[in-house]
Structure 1
Amino acid sequence: MPDAELVLRSRRVVTPEGVRPAAVAVAGGRITAVLPYDADVPPGARLEELGDDALLPGLVDTHVHVNDPGRTEWEGFWTATRAAAAGGVTTLVDMPLNSLPPTTTVDHLRTKQKTAADKAHVDVGFWGGALPGNVGDLRPLHDAGVFGFKAFLSPSGVDEFPHLDASQLGVSLAEIAGFDGLLIAHAEDPHHLATAPSRGGPRYADFLASRPRGAENSAVAELIAQAGRLDARVHVLHLSSSDALPLIAAAKADGVRVTVETCPHYLTLTAEEVPDGASEFKCCPPIREAANQDLLWQALADGTIDCVVTDHSPCTADLKTADFATAWGGIAGLQLSLPAVWTGARARGYGLQDVVRWMCARTAGLVGLEHKGAIEAGRDADFAVLAPEAAFTVDPAHLQHRNRVTAYAGKTLYGVVRSTWLRGQRVMADGEFSAPRGQLLTRTPDSGRPRKEP
């Protein structure tokens, strides 16, 4: 057997080749081998018998709003990364907005990294921001190790992070394409939003009408056109409109370098079930109808949608008012993303290997984290141990994010995360947490691989 300090043995190990009984050997924080289930355990190695619990690679969530520093009362690195560990997420990439300052300059990135350094229970990387007027900051941020650049094509909801119009998008994207960086975009067209019906109050139907599919479709078309013109890499964030799928599929077939994500709430919650006044369900773009959801699942299966991430965007409870027009828009779901997606996947005939592809392998690939996202020799020994058939009812009191508001309250989900491992060290087991062990990750300029901050 190769070097092994630890061996995790399960009858259901989710590997790139399929789900099978196996023994996973770990040394120095890395997977050294994936061996037959009955392989001999070397002297001195510790054996963890997992039985029928499934061994998954740790999830890589590339869309998380931590809000720290500046709006730490909404969420902070300590609480967000505990929620991640509780849900089997071992790596997250923090969005550049909702913190003060936003991550739009190298100095602001250093502030964010300093804030996170001693609070991370899981590994943390960072996106930069693309704003009107900060084109000169993009290459320095890239060189400093951000994984790409977030832009809004419509107002973001916070004054310090304004959106890019079509001209500004072209300028920023041309700069990013010059060093083959990645632009990730909130794709809603402000002109469609401005002309949509707008009515305040508690009715979810009114809010849904105010964020029409046409706003997404138009913005996705603009993003694809600019990417094709510049041969740039672009990523569509939190797609909710199934109407945009044919356009995306055609662009991919034409060689446009576009990737797409969706979120657990679009895959598992529907507009028909949202009670009036329940703004814990509010997000932008919105949760749409059940028929729309069916098409999102089909697009995941055929590869039109690449991956699933949370867009974890919590706030203080007082901002979730009963008026959908004024309530903060954001779903807090970091801890529940794996059970939520697994619950929907198993009901539709998908397996754990599909979930791992959508939430581990493709998200790691999106940001170039070549040592994450799979159980195979050479990868980081990051794992989630899942009891797939175990069910639980979501109790907000048991959630780890700072403000325990959730759209999943009272729902029965399948898949209990028994433990979470980071580089071969158990960071969560049955709701108990170790001291923070997370590292700060940056994009390595020459290889795209992560490296630890000094």
Structure 2
Amino acid sequence: MRLEAVSARQVLVDGAFRPATVVLRDGRIASIDPFRDVSGDGVLRVPDAAVVVPGVVDTHVHVNEPGRTEWEGFRSATEAAALGGVTTLVDMPLNAIPPTTTVAHLELKQQAAQHQLLVDVGFWGGAVPGNVGDLEPLWDAGVFGFKCFLSPSGVDEFPPLDRAELLAALREIARFDGLMIVHAEDAAILESTPAPATRSYREFAASRPDAAEAAAIRQVVDGARETGARVHVLHLSSARALDVIAEARAEGLRLTVETCPHYLCFTADAIPDAAPEFTCCPPIRDAGNREALWQALDEGLIDCVVSDHSPSSPAEKYRGDGDLMQAWGGISGLQVGFAAMAHEARRRGIGPDRVSAWMSRNTADLVGLGRKGRIEVGADADLAVYDPTTPYLVEAASLAHRHPISAYDGLRLDGRVTTTVVRGEIVDAAAPDPTHGRPLTRPDLGEHP
């Protein structure tokens, strides 16, 4: 359904909720007018208890198509995104086959995405050993930046960078002012840490210690200092690394940081034994660590929150029959992230306005999507309606991503996303032919038609 206006008592404009009627034209926000109680065709009248926020911009999603589409694909991932209020996502360069490490591989991704998208989708490139010469061509082709690992990625076709390779990639990326995003766990520390078979989540977490994150983040900071490159730390789980991050910020280095809802909603002590739904790398840590992450987020030391939606086939997720060391390390939370964050934030006296900033505006700004993640004149008409009075029992079997596996299964949340609008159109997940979403390139190159 194409909308001409959205009218609500609580619309997030300039960081605060106020009554407004948002007028839409040609997929953009044409004006933000005083609230008027209107109805009729083309008008979305939002219930008084609900809030209208910018659509979520999730910059950390593993879609896995082509090559591992049996794990997840563009149709299922973007449907889950839309049902959770996500209107834009940026796809990681792994675990698809081939990985997005050359322009030819990027084109395969873009072709696979065609005619399957319920929300807008951009693409990260990958930095792997031997592809420094591919980085600028990928940037020119429209990727939003480059992901690298400092320890094994879990898939053979996307190997990690050693120290010299990281510096070479950072120098090249600094030359054209790109962005390097880093899975920061130190390979040597991981290799030297015992990792015996275990069904205990606490023992699994101990096999990927805080020290591995802190050391790797220090390496990223050193690389940024030496090369001048812009760098971003992915999925921060350990509060022990916050001092390193604070020092880098005080020094003026171009460093940004994200964390994920699962690090802010769960604690290792409360995870049952033999529950691979919760395995992820880096791991979920203890309750004190969780509260320190919330404080860092509240203070602005952590910039944004993303899902790191990383599904696999059931065979991979349940490999080892309860041995967490063998299970695929990734959490499926794309559809649930905003509602889970809003629930946890509310318990801490934090409103959905702040959650929206962390998950929409800040993520959009990270990748330069100035028309996304905000409700203002000229922005894309990407909106989500969140009703904090509608209880939400998360049931993995009813989530739209490909396999009914999620750490959020059974969670009772205070509210949920009830409507998602992509460029002025209410997303209909039941439509057989999705037409809402488009593949995106970096803003200076425009959008694919």
TM-score interval, smaller chain = over 0.9
Shift of 1:389: 2.2
What is the SS of the residue equivalent to 2:46? strand
Q: Which has the higher strand share?
A: 1
Q: Distance in 1 between matches of 2:378 and 2:129?
A: 41
Which position in structure 2 is the counterpart of 1:452? 447
Q: Distance in 2 between matches of 1:368 and 1:231?
A: 19
Q: Distance in 2 between matches of 1:276 and 1:195?
A: 24
Indicate which of 12, 15, 19 corresponds to 1:14. Answer: 12
- Equivalent runs, 1:388-427 vs 2, <5 Å: 388-427=388-427
Shift of 1:230: 1.1
The TM-score, its normalising length taken from structure 1, stands at 0.95
Indicate which of 228, 231, 243 corresponds to 2:228. Answer: 231
Indicate which of 206, 210, 221 corresponds to 1:209. Answer: 206
Which position in structure 2 is the counterpart of 1:57? 54
Which position in structure 1 is the counterpart of 2:441? 442
Q: Residue 51 and residue 40 in structure 1: after superposition, are their counterparts in 2 closer, same or farther (change >3 A)? A: closer
What is the SS of the residue equivalent to 2:19? strand
Q: Any unmatched runs of 5+ in structure 1?
A: none
Q: Distance in 1 between matches of 2:442 and 2:36?
A: 38
Q: Distance in 1 between matches of 2:356 and 2:336?
A: 15
Q: Distance in 2 between matches of 1:83 and 1:293?
A: 26
Deviations 1:168-213 (A, max 9, x none): 0000010000000000000000011011121112121221110000
Q: Distance in 1 between matches of 2:14 and 2:107?
A: 36
Which position in structure 1 is the counterpart of 2:35? 37
Deviations 1:249-294 (A, max 9, x none): 1211111000000000000011011111001100000000010000
Q: Distance in 1 between matches of 2:339 and 2:432?
A: 22
Q: Distance in 2 between matches of 1:62 and 1:417?
A: 19
Letter in 2 for 1:410: G
- Equivalent runs, 1:50-449 vs 2, <5 Å: 50-52=46-48, 53-321=50-318, 322-428=322-428, 432-433=430-431, 435-436=433-434, 437-444=436-443, 447=444
Q: Which moved more, 1:410-419 or 1:94-103?
A: 410-419
Q: Distance in 2 between matches of 1:363 and 1:166?
A: 28
What is the SS of the residue equivalent to 2:402? coil
Deviations 1:395-425 (A, max 9, x none): 1121000011011111101222111111100
Q: Distance in 1 between matches of 2:324 and 2:356?
A: 34
Q: Does 1:47 align with 2:43?
A: yes
Q: Contact 2:115–2:433 (CA<8 Å) still a contact in 1?
A: no
Q: Distance in 1 between matches of 2:268 and 2:202?
A: 8
Letter in 1 for 2:349: G
Deviations 1:137-170 (A, max 9, x none): 0000000000000000100000000000111000
Q: Contact 2:12–2:18 (CA<8 Å) still a contact in 1?
A: yes
Deviations 1:307-333 (A, max 9, x none): 000000001112222111111000000
Shift of 1:434: 7.0
Q: Any unmatched runs of 5+ in structure 2?
A: none
Shift of 1:40: 7.7
Q: Distance in 2 between matches of 1:17 and 1:303?
A: 15
Shift of 1:393: 1.1
Shift of 1:24: 0.5
Letter in 2 for 1:360: S
What is the SS of the residue equivalent to 2:359? helix
Shift of 1:38: 2.6
Q: Distance in 2 between matches of 1:294 and 1:189?
A: 24
The TM-score, its normalising length taken from structure 2, stands at 0.96
Q: Distance in 1 between matches of 2:422 and 2:33?
A: 20
Q: Distance in 1 between matches of 2:42 and 2:341?
A: 32
Letter in 1 for 2:433: A
Letter in 1 for 2:209: P
What is the SS of the residue equivalent to 1:12? strand
Shift of 1:391: 1.3
Shift of 1:17: 3.6
Q: Which moved more, 1:169-178 or 1:243-252?
A: 243-252
Q: Distance in 2 between matches of 1:65 and 1:451?
A: 23
Letter in 2 for 1:440: P
Q: What is the aligned-residue identity percentage?
A: 54
Q: Which moved more, 1:180-189 or 1:405-414?
A: 405-414
Shift of 1:358: 0.1
Q: Which moved more, 1:289-298 or 1:318-327?
A: 318-327
Q: Residue 433 and residue 351 in structure 1: after superposition, are their counterparts in 2 closer, same or farther (change >3 A)? A: farther
Q: Contact 1:177–1:230 (CA<8 Å) still a contact in 2?
A: yes
Deviations 1:225-256 (A, max 9, x none): 11011111000000000011111112111110
Deviations 1:108-127 (A, max 9, x none): 00000000011111000000
Q: Residue 338 and residue 433 in structure 1: after superposition, are their counterparts in 2 closer, same or farther (change >3 A)? A: farther
Letter in 2 for 1:378: G
Letter in 1 for 2:306: V
What is the SS of the residue equivalent to 1:401? coil
Q: Contact 1:236–1:258 (CA<8 Å) still a contact in 2?
A: yes
Q: Contact 2:392–2:413 (CA<8 Å) still a contact in 1?
A: yes
Q: Distance in 1 between matches of 2:3 and 2:286?
A: 50
Aligned residue pairs, count: 443
Q: Contact 1:7–1:45 (CA<8 Å) still a contact in 2?
A: no
